[in-house]
Amino acid sequence: MKVITIRNVVRKDIPIYYRLMYTGVAEIDLGKGKTDYRIDFSIEIKATGQMLIVITFLDQLDYPLFPVVQELKKLISNMHYDGTLPN
């Protein structure tokens, strides 16, 4: 299993300044070839400075969820720190 990228990322407009909400398409290789999965995810910066990332799959995933979510969280965190997520 390998998370390749997240494409078509669009930021949702919400009035809470410490929570960023996005929608996008995760391209994941589950060993049978690349497959696209629609996802929603949010990034919340807590008062302690800790980042909380929550991911929701909009499409059915035929693979154990935990390793996929862990890899997606790493990718989303890197995209946030690199500034590649839309404002």
Count of domains forming the chain: 1
pLDDT tens-digit series, residues 35-55: 999 999 999 989 898 999 999
Task: Indicate if the pLDDT at residue 21 is higher than 90.
Answer: yes
Q: pTM for this one?
A: 0.91
Q: Is residue 87 part of a domain?
A: no
Q: Is residue 69 part of a domain?
A: yes
Q: In terms of C-beta distances under 8 Å and separation of at least 24 residues, what long-range contacts does 42-45 make, across chains too?
A: 43/19, 43/76, 43/80, 43/85, 44/18, 44/19, 44/20, 45/18, 45/19
Q: Which residue segment(s) compose the domain that 63 sits in?
A: 2-82
pLDDT tens-digit series, residues 73-87: 999 999 999 999 998
